[in-house]
Structure 1
Amino acid sequence: MIRSAARLCIAAAALCCALPLAARETQGPVVEAPAGAVRGQAVDGLHVFRGIRYAEAPVGQLRWKPPVPARRWDGVRDATRFGASCHQPPSRPGSLYAPAEMPAMSEDCLFLNVWAPQDARDAPVFVWIHGGALSGGTSSDPMYDGAALARQGLVVVSINYRLGVLGYLAHPDLSRESPEGVSGNYGLLDQIEALRWVQRNIAAFGGDPGNVTIAGESAGALSVMYLMASPQARGLFHRAIAQSAYMITMPALRETVHGTPSAEQTGLELSRRLGVRGLARLRAMDPQELTIKAALAAYMPLGNVDGKVLPAQLVDVFDRGQQAPVPILAGFNEGEIRSLRFLLPPPPADAATYEAEIRARYGSLAEAMLARYPSTDLDAAMLATTRDAMYGWTAERLVRAQTALGQPSYLYFWNHGYPAMDQSGLHAFHASEIPYVMGTRAGTPPAWPKVPDTTADNAMARATREYWASFARDGRPAAAGLPAWPAYGEARAYMAFAGTPQPGEHLMPGMFELVETVVCRRRAQGDQPWHWNVGVIAPVLPEGVAGCP
């Protein structure tokens, strides 16, 4: 069924053809962009364009190649339907994030979408990068509809990029093929090419190419960090928003680092597990079959440190101040792990077992760990330990790093709940801020606790959109009639979103320092990753590490 749907999508795209000039405006707004002319739809004061190709499809025997800019087309292309989504496996059974139905998929998936006020001129540009662990998701997801943000005066762009094994596979033979001598990072190269398309074309849609904000949640926020670290993306954006980013260990292209096999070795091992030898055979595999088999073989897509696209570990790039010097808005959610419990270790038998494990693994830091994550509520302690190690630490690290570069930096803490969410035990879960930011209450997946249509929740959505849009406009988040959002600065200020926006100072005192110390020792130790291997399953932490607390 999935393959048949993908073929139908490709066939539909092939039917797009030029329209007579006289018919253009009566059938929808037409934009004459450098890439070619496109016809969209006029919707309640907006001009909406869907399924615009930004790069040629690297399919079949061109699989695992960098994207090539789309060739300029003649005539007027229809841009009223989304393009195909990139190949991805079915959602995890019971997932809160599973769509109502799987989208039509194809390797020919490098499309983007534009929402613009009909009278836009030099408007700020907001580029949304979807999440999904770099293995799933699509710009056509109803929760990512850009209309509400566009009504804040932005030109909103959402993009597809290659996912999973098709987007991130590294392999020695692929590196030998490459003029740069590298492989992997194809999905990130897609994002960079999409940003180049924005630079060349967005003015035709009313956007200002000199005022571009990149934004994303989860793997989209990870991608924001990759783009900030990549020399190839420098100058393509001017502000960054990272919602629930995670600065975990990255594989290196050719060597084992921090207990993580090289990206090329992972590619070789995947080929062995699939029983497929040689690039020609891998490229001959059906893309959806390959995607699913790779996922079943536990292939985990990540950007790799290749010295070209990604020059170093993210922590090192940001420590050295070598990232893009742009203002940032970053934050995390109180209940991140409530919907991601597969990241948790098995629960200990009782409080005594928990305390014994923490003391055995954390040594001189054990008492600080037990004070912050006490045994009085084991479930809460484990949820918070993993949340902070991945998301809380990363958010504060980002705003600290950009502050050190002299850039305006803003931290938030999402702690907003509503009855259906809280009754499901999912208070402020991972991604629960997105319908508020995007104004897409009606676009959430079927299993999502439905966002209520109440005065309070509508006010929270309005506030969130205004803060985000204002930051995209001029680098300073503000909302009419609501508290001023102070920059992080020496006071370590932040904005809490819980019922109503409320500013505060020094979020979770001691949390950042504790996780930073753990990560510092892991980095110095050199043979262990830092991600969700924390709490009762943490490797024994070394003591007396030079340069670390």
Structure 2
Amino acid sequence: MFRRIRIAGFAAALVAAAACGAPSASAHPRPGCTTRTSLGLVAGTARAGICAFRGIPYAAPPVGDRRFRPPQPVRPWHGTLTADDDTRVCPQERDEMSEDYPDRRQIYADEDCLYLNVWTPRPDRAKRPVIVFIHGGAARFGTANEPRYDGTRLATSGDAVVVSLNYRLGVFGWTELGGVDPSYRGSGNNGLRDQIAALTWVRQHVADFGGDPSQVTAVGESEGAFSLSAMLATDHPERLFRRVILESGNGSLVHSAAMERKLAASFPVRSIARLKAMSTTELIDLGNKAAASLPGSAGGALYFGPYVDGTLVRGSVTRRVAAGNARGVDLLIGTNKDEMNFFGQYDPRGLDRLAAEYDGFFPPELAARRPRMTAVYRKRRTARDAALAMFTDQGLRVPATRLAEAQSRWRPTYAYEFDWRPPKGVGAVHTIELPFVFGTLRFTGIEGGAEALKTDRARLTRLSDQMVDAWTSFARTGDPNGRRTVARPSWPAYQVPRRTTMMWNLRPGTAKDPRGAERALWDGYPFDAFDL
């Protein structure tokens, strides 16, 4: 389905190859957007002045005996792979509110999903900067094939090669089964290994699409950013990328080893044979039920994800970064002002419910401090909004500043906050920066976003132009100021004690240590890893 197959005389050979895990391919290259890789010829589609290659396999299908195993290499193909199908989605139940799916299916049940997409001005040898995007979705939802993640604008505006990738979700990629069968030890990080396999594929093959494998910038949002944070705690992360952009994600939400042990011990199926015998939809349902065991709206978003296993992810992300583990990696990191409000959208009482749930997430180690902290947050807010601001700061904003501070000791580091909010929405919520970063201006999952675009398109387009320019400049030079092609403010590096932060809004500008008194309330709390 993901690769349209044109069989010309050697159908039996192609069927046999597919059965062995090798991708099938068409007999004839598509003119104009065709390139030769060491795996075989790949034909894309010319669109909007670029070549788009949709649906290139980067690993063998993780099916059969490969279910719950690390990703395996993809086999070369004969003929030409026609990369023009953008409908592959890793197994999940449709999340209508949050994701921008490529079709109307309610259940996605094809485990053969380890594919990536490439957008390039030309598949030549121009050595353009490379931007690799890893999507979010609580490690349960989402796909590289969402229209809001279309890489056309980034590729054209930045003269860059843009890559997006799928990775296994839910039970399939993030369940630790080593306690059930020692030969499956590490399976709880297989989704992370999928992403690493895709980044390795990029290093090996992106030159065939006009990219420079030494100039790879990995961009992750939400779960994608948690995953990239975890990679910063692996051995020699510079082997995977030269630069990283973390949008609404950081190492504090990488699971601790203790939490992963708790989740693994409570997992309801204790037989590998039974798990391998279950249907895809049964495993999706099993994952949904497992995620529902964590408390609150946000709890279900944190059940699956990378964890500190001591082997791949060596330890606390921020501690390892502070010690210089990622000294060869440039960092740009930021959050949105009202991240947690995302989980209270579309429900008249949603924000009230979310604020009430915060008690279950507040660190017990800080219980004695809480009255004083709450009093500071309450100075300009209602009790509900103070709780939501603390929730956002604890989960995302303050840990991001810690990671920025840690990496700024070794490399130029840049921090941002996205502040624009739709007039009829509930704030600058989680994911709201994505329509601007990609230039698609698709506001899936953002209450009031589409309505705001209708009434204020010119100003929102200008903000998107500025962010696309900053992101692609960083990918090219390691400095978001390095290649300004549109008017926008200068963005100084993040350094203590000034902590200069770019504040993205209709009139962007910088601020020194925004809401620093609230940030400082969390001093001394380690934010090492997520445990509940």
Q: CA deviation at 1:495?
A: 0.7
Alignment of 1:526-545 (within 5 A): none
Q: In structure 2, which of residues 61, 75, 78 is the aligned counterpart of residue 71 of structure 1?
A: 75
SS of alignment partner, residue 453 of structure 2 = coil
Cα distance change on mapping 1:385 and 1:147 into 2, 3 Å: same
Letter in 2 for 1:283: K
Q: How do residues 264-283 of structure 1 correspond to structure 2 at under 5 angstroms? A: 265-271=262-268, 276-283=269-276
1:136 aligns with 2:141: yes
Identity, % of aligned pairs?
Answer: 31
Work out whether residues 52 and 113 of structure 1, in 8 Å CA contact, stay in contact via their aligned partners in 2. Answer: yes
Aligned mate of 2:504, from 479, 497, 502? 497
Tell me, in whole angstroms, the C-alpha distance in 2 between the residues paired with 1:343 and 1:510: 24
Distance 1:361-1:348 versus aligned 2 partners, 3 A rule: farther
1:284 to 277, 296, 317: 277
Alpha-carbon contact 1:215-1:240 (below 8 Å) kept: yes
C-alpha distance in 2 between matches for 1:62 and 1:364: 49
Shift of 1:11: 8.8
Change (3 A) 1:345 1:249: farther
Q: Deviations over 1:394-450 (max 9, x none)?
A: 221121111011x11111110013xxx3213x2211111111100111473696621
Shift of 1:293: 1.9
The answer to whether the aligner puts 1:31 opposite 2:31 as a matched pair is: no
TM-score by length of 1: 0.82
Q: How far is the alpha carbon of 1:502 from its aligned partner? A: 0.6
1:475: which partner in 2? Answer: 478
Quickly say closer, same or farther: Cα 1:483–1:171, change in 2 above 3 A.
Answer: same
SS of corresponding position for 2:423: helix
Query: Are 1:170 and 2:167 matched, yes or no?
Result: no
**Alignment match, 2:48:** 44
In the TM superposition, what is the alpha-carbon distance from 1:106 to its structure 2 partner?
A: 1.4
Which position in structure 1 is the counterpart of 2:204? 200
Per-residue CA deviations over 1:217-239 (Å, capped at 9, x if unaligned) read: 11111111012112274411000
| Residue 116 of structure 1 pairs with residue 120 of structure 2 | yes
Indicate the SS of the match to 1:115: strand
Pick one of 213, 218, 225 that aligns with 1:221. Answer: 225
Q: Return the offset for 1:487.
A: 0.6
- For residues 182 and 293 of structure 1, the distance between their equivalents in structure 2, rounded to whole angstroms, comes to 20
SS state of the match for residue 340, structure 1?
Answer: helix
Partner residue, 2:440:
440
- Shift in Å, 1:362: 3.4
Q: Who is 1:230 aligned against?
A: 234
**1:457 matched to 2:454:** no
Deviation at 1:282, TM superposition (A): 0.5
Residue ranges of structure 2 left out of the alignment (5+ in a row): 7-17, 294-302, 345-349
Correspondence for 1:333: 336
**Alpha-carbon deviation of 1:457?**
1.0
Query: Which AA in structure 1 matches 2:263?
Result: T
Name the SS of the counterpart of 2:93 in structure 1: coil
Residue 73 to residue 232, structure 1, CA distance change in 2 (3 Å): farther
Equivalent residues of 1:96, 1:448 under 8 A apart: no
Q: Look up the match of 2:60.
A: 56
1:422 corresponds in structure 2 to 423
Q: Does 1:514 align with 2:521?
A: yes
1:393·1:516 contact (CA, 8 Å) conserved in 2?
Answer: no
| CA positional deviation for 1:75 | 1.0
312 and 439 in structure 1: CA distance in 2 versus 1, 3 angstrom threshold: same
Does the 8 Å contact 1:270/1:294 carry over to 2? no
Q: Which of 298, 303, 316 is matched with 1:313 structurally?
A: 316
The DSSP-based 3-state class of the residue aligned with 2:173 is helix
Q: In the alignment, does 2:34 pair up with 1:20?
A: no
What is the CA–CA distance in structure 1 between the aligned matches of 2:235 and 2:180, rounded to whole Å?
A: 22
Task: Output the CA distance in 1 between the equivalents of 2:228 and 2:402.
Answer: 14
Preserved contact between residue 336 and residue 418 of structure 2 (Cα < 8 Å): yes
Question: 1:145-160 residue pairs with structure 2 within 5 A?
Answer: 145-151=150-156, 152-160=158-166
Task: Return the alpha-carbon distance in structure 1 between the equivalents of residues 139 and 49 of structure 2.
Answer: 34
In the TM superposition, residue 324 of structure 1 has moved relative to its aligned partner by 5.2
* CA 345–20 in structure 1, closer or farther in 2 if over 3 Å, else same: closer
Deviation per CA, 1:112-139, whole angstroms, max 9, x where unpaired? 0000012751000000000001111100
Per-residue CA distance 1:21-46 (angstroms, 9 max, x = gap): 5xx31xx5111012221110011220
Match of 2:251? 247
The SS at the match of 1:486 is coil
C-alpha distance in structure 2 between counterparts of 1:308 and 1:219, whole Å: 20
Task: Give the equivalent residue in structure 2 for 1:536.
Answer: none
Q: Is the 8 A contact 2:180 2:271 kept in 1?
A: no
Q: What is the rounded CA distance, in whole Å, between the counterparts of 1:12 and 1:119 in structure 2?
A: 22
2:252·2:530 contact (CA, 8 Å) conserved in 1?
Answer: yes
Computed over aligned residues only, the root mean square deviation of the Cα atoms, in angstroms, reads 3.0
Residue of structure 1 equivalent to 2:404: 399
* 8 Å contact from structure 1 (residues 61, 280) kept in 2: no
Note if contact 2:254-2:530 (Cα within 8 Å) is conserved in structure 1.
Answer: no
Matched residues in 2 for 1:358 and 1:105: separation?
Answer: 38
Give 1:90 deviation, angstroms: 3.2
Question: Can you give the 5+ residue segments of structure 1 that lack an aligned partner in the other structure?
Answer: 1-7, 524-528, 534-549
Q: Deviations over 1:25-69 (max 9, x none)?
A: 1xx511101222111001122010000000001213321111011
* Superimposed CA distance per residue, residues 287-336 of structure 1 (whole angstroms, 9 cap, x where no aligned partner): 22212222113262121222211111324323433235311111111121
Q: Deviations over 1:258-306 (max 9, x none)?
A: xx3x43x5234223xxxx4410110111122212222113262121222
Q: How many residues align?
A: 488
Specify the SS of the correspondent of 1:466: helix
